Amino acid sequence: MGGRQVTDWQGKRVTVAGLGVSGIPAAKGLHGLGAAVTVVNDGDDERARAQAADLEALGITVRLGDGATLPEGTELVVTAPGWKPDKPLFDAARAAGLEIWGDVELAWRLRGPGAAPWLAVTGTNGKTTTVQMLASILEAAGLRTAAVGNIGVSLLDVVLGDEPYDVLAVELSSYQLHWAPSLRAHSAAVLNLAPDHLDWHGSMEAYAADKGRVYEGNRVACVYNLADKATEDLVREADVEEGCRAVGFTLGTPGPSQLGVVDGILVDRAFVENRQKNAQELAEISDVNPPAPHNIANALAAAALARAYGVPAAAVRDGLRAFTPDAHRIAHVADVDGVAYIDDSKATNTHAAQASLAAYESIVWIAGGLAKGATFDELVAGAAGRLRGAVLIGADRALIREALARHAPEVPVVDLDRTDTGAMLAAVREARTLARAGDTVLLAPACASMDMFVNYNKRGDAFAEAVRGLSPADG
């Protein structure tokens, strides 16, 4: 990726806040550049001790169970993105006049001359899918790229590695953006905005403002969602480079400087000559896997960023065709007696579940888990006409049951009063009794999984295992 930014890290005393997927690469990377690194971590469990031992073997100091105190002599703090801004460690750092960087900020500052530009994606839902679609499109264009960032691949590892890239597809969370004030992407997209992580940010306004940081300093395009005015508002508020354009995407017919859908075709009216009159066909809806409405929106956003980088239309089509979504994202598990069983365990909040429910006409809905402070009235009211029935599981299922009673009183509801992992098998069997040929049994919990499962993956696995255990006409 070219040489490092010229910075003398030798002996610079850096405190890294937090172990984990960002803290460990930050500590190792800074140590490799000659910094004197101390890692502080709130936890002191078996896993943390094992991680600490690995770092200490390299000569890195680690303090476990003490994430509140700023080590003496600290000159810079680099934090894991999930650490809340009001932690005492940061108060002490600010009082000392120190800068606080996240791992993304550190990666951005360590880029060398001629480094690969970043195409950045954020939003409440759809980030990972969109970034993976974007990387697939870029690869189809013959570009050296990687899907990195909040997707689980450390930006630091990429920036400090030897692999040369032409362009990076970067997923960024609101946490990461909060701690990355210097980031300036080639082009960026905010897919959507819905209440999430408000306990961390303090308010919806602060959450939106952190998301909007992704547009700051964009050079070519700020991509926004025509169906979500808040994303366009963030574009209007951003300070971008001269010549940077606002580019919208829509599931309807696009206007000039927009991408959209016409007669089943994804169409570009933004990156064409004479966009007042002309349009470029990019792909068919059938090229998008799966072709649910919110996933088509993801594909349009990915296409917009790729086109902003100069990718030809054929590569958009080929990249979308080659893309395979991750597990537990509106994944078709099986058809049993004419009923489709769909695993969207990744729908861990109401906004994601709303998009999932909108993709099917007649649904037996399996929902519930940890609500994280969410309310369900808007979600249920919008989906009421599509619901054949509902099966509720998890600690906060009563909140969904009450919303169903208010907004869909005619929909039959099975309330499973259990939170053990075996509840999923019972839920699938109950859903089967409610479903008719042509229906969809949809796991779209609208809640987090940790009351019953380690994560949403395990929840989806339990659903898929239960479905595969069904035999035709045994219900």
HSE (side-chain half, CA atoms, 13 Å) at 234: 33
The verdict on whether residue 34 carries a ligand-binding annotation is: no
Instruction: Tell whether the model's pLDDT for residue 7 goes beyond 80.
Output: no
What SS3 class is residue 404? helix
pLDDT of res. 258: 98
Residue 70, amino acid: L
Question: Averaged over 51-74, what is the pLDDT?
Answer: 94
Q: Distance (Å, rounded) from C-alpha 134 to C-alpha 148?
A: 11
Question: What's residue 427's pLDDT?
Answer: 97
* 127 is an annotated ligand-binding site residue: yes
**Per-residue pLDDT, 132:** 95
| Closest C-alpha to 469, from 367, 333, 329, 364 | 333
pLDDT at 206: 83
Question: 124 among the known binding-site residues?
Answer: yes
The whole-number average pLDDT for the span 127-143 is 96
Instruction: Name which of 152-161, 194-203, 311-320 the model is least confident about.
Output: 194-203
253 is in an annotated binding site: no
Task: Output the six-digit token pair for 215.
Answer: 């547009």
pTM beyond 0.85: the answer is: no
pLDDT at residue number 373: 84
Q: Is 126 annotated as a binding residue?
A: yes
pLDDT for the residue numbered 472 = 77
Q: Could you tell me which residue, 396 or 471, shows the higher pLDDT?
A: 396
The structure tokens 């009235």 sit at 377
**What pLDDT score does 63 carry?**
96
User: 387: pLDDT confidence band, cut at 50, 70 and 90?
Assistant: very high
Nearest to 458 by CA among 328, 347, 325: 328
Determine the average pLDDT of the residues in 248-252: 98
What distance in Å separates the CA atoms of residue 169 and residue 186, rounded to the nearest whole number?
A: 11
What is residue 475's predicted lDDT score, i.e. its pLDDT? 42
pLDDT tens figures, 172-225 = 998 899 999 999 999 999 999 886 665 665 677 888 899 999 999 999 999 999
Q: What is the mean pLDDT of the chain?
A: 92
Evaluate whether 302 touches 188 at the Cβ level (below 8 Å). no
The per-residue DSSP string of 143-154 comes to: ----EEETTSS-
Banded pLDDT at 6 (limits 50, 70, 90) = very low
Specify the range with the lowest mean pLDDT, choosing from 56-60, 115-119, 150-154, 197-201: 197-201
Residue 280: pLDDT over 50? yes
**Pairing label, strands 258-262, 265-268:** antiparallel
Reported as a pLDDT band with limits 50, 70 and 90, residue 58 is: very high
What pLDDT was estimated at residue 421? 73
Q: Binning pLDDT at 50, 70 and 90, where does residue 474 land?
A: very low
- Average pLDDT value for residue range 318-324: 96
Tokens of 295: 């996933």
24 vs 5: CA distance, rounded Å: 21
Kindly state the average pLDDT of the residues 364-393: 95
Tens digit of each residue's pLDDT (9 = 90 or more) over 399-436: 999 999 999 999 999 999 987 878 999 999 999 999 99
Q: Is 41 annotated as a binding residue?
A: no
123 annotated to a ligand binding site:
yes
pLDDT given for residue 200 in this prediction: 62
pLDDT of residue 20: 81
User: What's the pLDDT at 199?
Assistant: 64
SS3 assignment, position 35:
coil
Helices within 154-272 (DSSP H only)? 155-160, 174-178, 198-201, 204-212, 229-237
